[in-house]
Amino acid sequence: MSSTGAHAVSTTPTEKSFEESHPKDSGHPRAHAAPHDLLDVMEQGTVQVDEPKILHGWNVKLEKLLGVEARGIERVLEADKPPKATFADFVQIVLLWFSANLTLNNLAIGLLGPLVFGLGLTEAMCVGTFGTIAGAMGTAYQSTWGPVSGNRTMVVARYTMGWWPSKICVLLNMVIMLGYGLVDCLIAGQLLSAVAGGSMTVIVGTIIAAVISLVVALFGIKLFHVYERYAFLPQILVLFILIGVAGPNFNAGSTSAGLGTSVAVADRVSFFFLSASAPLAWCPAASDYFVYFPKNCARIKVAASTLLGLGLSSVIMVLIGVGLGSGALVKTEWADAYDVSAGALVVEALSPLGAFGNFCSVVLALGLIANNIPGTYSAALGFQLLGRWFRVIPRWIWVIVSVIIYTVCACAGRNNLFNIFEDFLALMGYWTIMWCTLTLEEELIFRRKIGYNWDDWNVPSRLPIGIAALIAFCIGWVGAVLCMYQVYFTGPIAKLVGDGIDLGFPVSAAWTGLIYPPLRYLELKHLKR
């Protein structure tokens, strides 16, 4: 990957700079020694800004007084990064992903293996494990763009999708991040309500989780990284306790329904891609958290660290979910609890421990905040990418807006969690795998020799127009619709196997991957961008 040096650029009517009227606020960084502590970069670095001076001034004051991160979608220059990454920095990547995904929303995916797809314990665990690892590989790849470019993930998308089409990806990513915020807060609210025996409503529990998420995400990347460094500790201890208490009730002898039939095959395939969808949903935000890492970080190390942290934590939660789901099929008390909510099932599984079990449930509920913080942080960045006037509003204000949106939605939709979750998760997998395919092909086929000029991140005239990517993306969606198998719709191709098979994931990726190269070749030949 290559990046040319900084050079003068002209503004365009699409994204006109405010810098002309404020020459002393030039976007060129001041010379200073590169910081050595990765988490101090936000305090020592400079931020290239376009926003009006009054907003920029308040932003800087908040950063100095309270430590609120002033940087939004602006690129992090190499001068503002530490000279090299240490072993501890790669451990931080592992811990960030491990903490963020060792949470109950991923456990809910495992529940679907036995309870929805009718898979036996062993088969569901195997399918869920391999599906989860496959999905984590896509996110591992996308996470490498942060150090090499200094840009947020959806800014990097401009180099494939183009200036305007990339905004479609931004909107879809915001749906993912805000949707996960909804699910996380709602599951936390259900758990807290179940522990309180109904004396605390789900709404109150949801608001508690949302407020804590707000505080950490508001302050930005430094507090966020510190929080995720330790958030997994109480979670892993309580999960081991949960396994010890609930494990004897896992139905180890269960078998899949309809073995040897096309229905069983369809169920295995559908659960595999559902399991892959959850870790893959982090793709559009994967590099947001590593833009302060130096460019000389080995991409393979960043990817491996992400794969280890994300893959291991997600697999643990899916396996526990499968176990609880298998037990709910034979244990009446668990089945009754599951009819109330997934959170109630966890509380019931811990009930033999009495008051200590309730304490463990509270720990698990609050653990969802670790999953919610990264999504809230990325959703706020998404708002800034929607347009010029969105960008002039500081990141921390969009954090507040994001929390309000998903908290209100969670409270309003609290009685339909699983329907929302299933539908939402499937849509994530379809578009993220298509976008991943486009990014990979752009890098390996068209950028292999010329590389990327990361200085052009905010110059529309120097980015691809995006016609090829948009057409390939739309054709991929056609494949997804024809092959999807969801509660709300079954595509004509999906109906051909068993009671329905979800092939939207691989078919959408294949169609996108086949269409993009020839269209991109024509785009480069005739439009030169």
Of 154, 148, 151, 31, nearest to 85 (Cα)?
Answer: 148
Looking at residue 41, its pLDDT comes to 56
Looking at residue 312, its pLDDT comes to 97
Whether 103 and 213 have beta carbons less than 8 Å apart is answered as: no
Looking at residue 489, its pLDDT comes to 84
What percentage of residues in the chain have a pLDDT greater than 90?
60
Tell me the HSE value of 257 on the side-chain side, using a 13 A CA sphere: 13
Non-local CB neighbours of 494 within 8 Å, separated by 6+ positions: 482, 483, 484, 485, 500, 501, 502, 503, 504
- Band (49; pLDDT cuts 50, 70, 90): low
Record the tokens describing residue 247, joined without a space: 């494990």
- Band (37; pLDDT cuts 50, 70, 90): low
- Give 194-238 pLDDT, tens digit per residue: 788 777 888 898 999 999 999 888 888 888 899 999 999 999 999
Q: Sign (positive/negative) of CA torsion 301, 302, 308, 309?
A: positive
479: Cα separation from own chain's centroid? 23
Looking at residue 362, its pLDDT comes to 92
**How much is the mean pLDDT over the chain?**
85
d(CA 337, CA 333): 6
- What kind and span of H or E run contains 385? none
Looking at residue 52, its pLDDT comes to 52
- Give 338-389 pLDDT, tens digit per residue: 988 788 899 999 999 999 999 999 999 999 999 999 999 999 999 999 988 8
* Distance linking the first and last C-alpha atoms of the chain: 18
DSSP per-residue codes, 314-335: HHHHHHHHHHHHHHHTT-HHHH
Looking at residue 149, its pLDDT comes to 95
254: pLDDT strictly greater than 60: yes
- Band (19; pLDDT cuts 50, 70, 90): very low
Phi, psi at 490, each rounded to 5°: -125, 120
- The DSSP 8-state label assigned to residue 165 in this structure reads T
500: pLDDT strictly greater than 60: yes
Looking at residue 150, its pLDDT comes to 94
- Give 427-474 pLDDT, tens digit per residue: 777 999 999 999 999 999 999 989 999 999 999 999 999 999 999 999
What structural domains and CATH numbers belong to the chain? Answer: 18-527 (1.10.4160.10)
Q: What are 490's strand-pairing partners?
A: 485
At residue 67, what is the residue type?
Answer: G
Of 90, 82, 79, 80, nearest to 36 (Cα)?
Answer: 82
- Band (69; pLDDT cuts 50, 70, 90): confident
